[in-house]
Amino acid sequence: MKKIISTLFAVAMVFGFISNANAAKTLKCQTVLNTKADEVKMLKDFTDTVTTLTSGSLKFEIMPAGAVVGVKETLDAVDKGLIDCGFAWTHYWSGDHPAAMLFGSPVAGGGVGIDNIAFLSWFQYGGGKELYDRLWKEMGRDIKGFMIQPVGPEALGWFPKPIKDMADFRKYKFRTPPGIPGQTYKDIGIASVAMGGGDILPALEAGTIDAAEWCCPKPDLTFGFQKVLKHYYLQGLHQVVVNADFYITGKNIQCYDCP
């Protein structure tokens, strides 16, 4: 896995980037999470690698959700140049284009669908990357996206009481990812509620939702869901692979691997 991720790093490093190659540049990058999240720590590792590979000519300021714009405005802010780069899951933008779901969180679970290694193979060598670049064009966004955190599979989530059958599951207002997963749960009678990661714990504490999923044991513990809910279930019904992405404003790059 580390070798595969390093390969993705190398692909991402073909940013020609800056108008003046000899001048140091600091890019402001807003995430859709707070800076304590494990995914943001991994993002910082990624940007540190970029800084090393560019001999310090390219640096990053990693900002938490809401630092410049709201979570839902992150992609538009990158497109318009309000921030230089952003970090999110592409399925967050499935409201703008349904195909966004295919790259951020293709719906599958319980042994159904390809795993994250097979997904990366398709993305890198089976035409996935070309479709990904086409997605941004169809969405009318001037950005270049890079898939940097392929993860899978995810857990079902956290619940206040044991789940014995689907009737038990249907009793709860359940936080799900936005887009197709949430609709899939609704289709089987679950009261799904889409929200960002940083909003989940406050919503649980306020009773706005009764149960929730985010990702996996370690990231979930960082958010603190175990403070409210004591029953945790593996494996999920909805995400056998999920990918977090790094977006950069198109006008800020010259990419030698772009279509």
The one-digit pLDDT tens for each residue of the chain (259 residues) are: 444 444 344 444 444 454 445 567 899 999 999 888 999 999 999 999 999 999 999 999 999 999 999 999 999 999 999 999 999 999 889 889 988 988 887 766 555 667 778 888 889 999 999 999 999 999 999 999 998 988 878 889 999 999 999 999 999 999 988 777 788 889 999 999 988 888 899 999 999 999 999 988 888 998 899 999 999 998 777 777 888 999 999 876 654 444 4
Distance (Å, whole) CA 83 – CA 64: 12
* Residue 253 pLDDT: 65
Domain-wise residue ranges, the chain? 2-152+242-252, 157-233
Q: What is the pLDDT of residue 78?
A: 96
pLDDT of residue 104: 80
CATH 3.30.1450.10 fits 157-233, yes or no: no
Encoded tokens for 95: 């409201």
Say how far apart CA 44 and CA 38 lie, in whole Å.
10
Instruction: Indicate the residue type of 105.
Output: S
**DSSP-assigned states of every residue in 35-66:** TTSHHHHHHHHHHHHHHHHTTTSEEEEEE-TT
Rounded to an integer, what distance in angstroms lies between the CA atom of residue 195 and that of residue 210? 13
Could you give the CA distance from residue 181 to residue 194 in angstroms, rounded to a whole number? 9
Query: What pLDDT is stored for residue 3 in this prediction?
Result: 43
Which residue in this structure is represented by tokens 């089987």?
188
Q: Is CATH 3.40.190.170 the classification given to domain 2-152+242-252?
A: yes
- Give residue 119's pLDDT: 85
Asked if the domains at 2-152+242-252 and 157-233 fall in one CATH topology, the answer is yes
Check residue 20 and give its pLDDT: 46
pLDDT score of 4: 45
- Phi/psi class of residue 207: alpha, beta or left (left: φ > 0; alpha: ψ in -120 to 50)? left
